[in-house]
A and B are shown apart, each in its own frame.
Chain A
C-alpha cells in the first residue's frame, strides 16, 4: 500500500496527529496530546496507530523530568529515480537557484522526452 493510501485510511484524529508531527518536525508525546486537545490515553493510542502504519518514528525520551516519547515523522521511502531523465540526474542538484530555462535543464528535458 502506498503512503497516500495508508493516509486515506486514517481516522480524523490520527490524521490531525500526523499533521501535527509533520508540521512540528517532531514533538514529545506529553505535548502531543495537549496540542491535539485529547486525553493522554487517546494521544498514546493515536501515536501507536501511526507507528504501526510506519508514518512516524517513536523513541523514548526524558522531557521536563518525565519519561515520555519523542514522535517524529518517518523518513519516507521515495522513488528517487524520478530525479533521473535517462542517465541524467536533475541539473538543479548542487545549484542554489532553479533556472527552468537553463541549457542544462533543456538537455535533461530532451533526455526525458526522447531517451526511452
Chain B
C-alpha cells in the first residue's frame, strides 16, 4: 500500500510568483521534502497559505483575499505555523474601528532546524523499534497479514484468531536490515557518536 501521490505545489508556487506577490524562501520551498512537511502540518486546505509566504508582514484578511480562501482556513493554517515556530504575529488596534488586526510574519528560516530535530526523533524511534524487532520472534497470518509476537502466537495455538489459518514463522531480517542502514545514515548525517 502506498500513500497517495503528493500534489505538486511547484505549479501553484509558479502561478503565485507570476503575480505581483513577492515570495520569500523560494529555495526552501522548492525542496520536495519541505513541501511534504508543510503539507503534513497544515493539510491540503492550508497549503496555499503555507506554500506562498509573503516577504514582510501580512494580515490574515489580505492572505484570504489574495489566495481566494475562507478567512477561517487562512487563520487555521497561520496558527499551525505559529505553533511550529514558522510564523509570528503582532496585534495592532485600528484607531478608527477599534478592531484588532493581526500582522503575520513567516519564519521559514526555522524549517531546517525543525527538520533536524525531526531527524533526531526519527532516529530515536528507529533505534527503539530495531531492538524490539531483534529480540522478538514473529508469526504471520498470510491471509489477514496480521503479525503476532511469539507469545501471542502461542496463546492462539499458532492459529489466526481472525480466520483460523495457521500462523507461519516470519523472517523480519529485511526489515531489520533496512532499519539498520537508515539508522547508520542518520547517525552519520547528524554526527551522532555511537557509544557502548
Do residues B5 and A78 form an inter-chain contact, with CB atoms below 8 A?
no
B15 at the interface (CB under 8 A from A): no
CB-contact partner of A101 in B6, B132, B178, B190, under 8 A: B132
Do residues A82 and B186 form an inter-chain contact, with CB atoms below 8 A?
yes
Do residues B125 and A92 form an inter-chain contact, with CB atoms below 8 A?
yes
Which chain B residues border A84 with CB–CB below 8 Å?
A: 33, 36
Instruction: Decide yes or no: A100 and B179 within 8 Å by CB, A4-B191, A80-B33, A113-B174 being known contacts.
Output: no
Q: For chain A, what secondary structure do more than half of its interface residues adopt (helix, strand, loop), or is it mixed? A: mixed
Which chain B residues border A77 with CB–CB below 8 Å?
A: 112
Shortest beta-carbon distance, A28 to chain B, in Å? 21
A7 to B188, CA, bound (A): 13
A3 to B178, CA, bound (A): 25
A82 to B174, CA, bound (A): 18
Give chain B's interface residue range (CB within 8 Å of chain A).
Answer: 35 or more
Do residues A109 and B178 form an inter-chain contact, with CB atoms below 8 A?
yes
Which chain B residues border A81 with CB–CB below 8 Å?
A: 33
Instruction: Decide yes or no: A94 and B175 within 8 Å by CB, A83-B118, A107-B1 being known contacts.
Output: no
Which chain A residues border B3 with CB–CB below 8 Å?
A: 86-88
Residue of A nearest to B178 (CB): A113
B113 at the interface (CB under 8 A from A): yes
Shortest beta-carbon distance, A57 to chain B, in Å? 12
Shortest beta-carbon distance, B117 to chain A, in Å? 10
Q: Give the A-binding residues of B (Cβ under 8 A).
A: 1-3, 5-6, 31, 33-34, 36-37, 40-41, 112-113, 115-116, 118-119, 121-122, 124-126, 128-129, 132, 174-175, 177-179, 182, 185-186, 188-191
